[in-house]
């Protein structure tokens, strides 16, 4: 039986590590490498980096860090410099997402040290992109992020950093992702993001029970018990979070101990 995973998620915006709330408010937390060094010490199961920089803005609207290889007018190659530096310091499995729109950009991430990549907006625009990636790199390396928001009392999938409504039903889209060769679903609740109110268990359970590929739950963790709820009640294969690991001292080892003490199947 596969073990469950506990996964920290680090969001990068303009080259800075940020705290996210509702996919809209972002508080800078500083250097994206510092956290990696902590996670190495904690023997983290896996680490996810997601670049949420809005590259549609012009240079004057985007304030970019001047160290770690990025500067004003950062393009994909510049974020790759940051990621390359991060991967050189990272001793656990590493997943990278954000702005991957073609095979070349995906290949770059793997060459820079990614074990898996996350795609989102491009998959919704071109579903066959999932199959193309899976055929080249293997399904196990392709994670599809599904960002969900409640609109008019319905769950709907959003793209473009949570700004564009695809009008797709989350379960139908996740089933399609599976059929197209996606290896995992990264299910993120926009409404719960940064809220510390716990996962949207109803959403997670409705999808995890209907697909065969692993589902990573994200969005809303404010207490260790939320991780166990994601596994026990939601049926997630892995539980992920961002803010709780940034603000609580020794959060990862304490969370892992909590989950093991609950008898859950973590390593």
* Residues recognised as catalytic: 147
Let me know if 52 is exposed, middle or buried by CB neighbors in 10 A (0-12, 13-18, 19+).
middle
Let me know if 261 is exposed, middle or buried by CB neighbors in 10 A (0-12, 13-18, 19+).
exposed
- Using DSSP's 3-state secondary structure scheme, residue 137 falls into helix
Let me know if 114 is exposed, middle or buried by CB neighbors in 10 A (0-12, 13-18, 19+).
buried
Alpha-carbon distances, residue 38 vs 26, 92, 180 (angstroms): 22, 12, 36
Q: Are strands 154-159 and 164-168 parallel, antiparallel or unpaired?
A: antiparallel
DSSP secondary structure of 149-217: EEETTEEEEEETTTTEEEEE-HHHHHHHHHHHT--EEEEEETTTTTT-S---HHHHHHHHTT-SS-EEE
- Using DSSP's 3-state secondary structure scheme, residue 129 falls into helix
Closest to 262 measured CA to CA, from 219, 233, 241, 221: 233
């Amino acid at each position: 039986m596969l073990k469950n995973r506990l996964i920290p998620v680090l969001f990068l915006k303009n080259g800075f590590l940020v705290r996210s709330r509702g996919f809209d408010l972002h508080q800078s937390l500083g250097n994206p490498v510092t956290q990696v060094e902590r996670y190495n010490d904690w023997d983290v199961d896996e680490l996810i980096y997601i670049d949420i920089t809005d590259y549609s803005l012009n240079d004057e609207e985007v304030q970019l860090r001047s160290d770690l290889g990025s500067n004003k007018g950062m393009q994909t190659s510049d974020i790759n410099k940051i990621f390359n530096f991060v991967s050189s310091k990272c001793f656990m499995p590493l997943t990278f997402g954000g702005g991957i729109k073609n095979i070349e950009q995906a290949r770059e991430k793997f060459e820079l040290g990614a074990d898996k990549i996350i795609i989102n907006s491009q998959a919704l625009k071109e579903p066959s992109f999932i199959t193309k990636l899976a055929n080249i790199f293997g399904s196990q390396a392709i994670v599809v992020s599904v960002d969900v928001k409640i609109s008019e009392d319905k769950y709907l999938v959003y793209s473009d950093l949570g700004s564009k409504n695809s009008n797709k039903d989350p379960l139908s889209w996740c089933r399609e992702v599976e059929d197209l060769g996606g290896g995992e679903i990264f299910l993120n609740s926009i409404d719960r993001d940064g809220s510390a109110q716990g996962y949207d268990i109803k959403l997670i359970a409705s999808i995890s029970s209907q697909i065969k590929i692993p589902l990573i739950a994200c969005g809303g963790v404010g207490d260790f018990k939320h991780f166990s709820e994601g596994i026990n009640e939601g049926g997630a294969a892995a539980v992920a979070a961002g803010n709780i690991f940034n603000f609580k001292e020794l959060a990862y080892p304490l969370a892992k101990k909590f989950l093991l003490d609950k008898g859950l199947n973590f390593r």
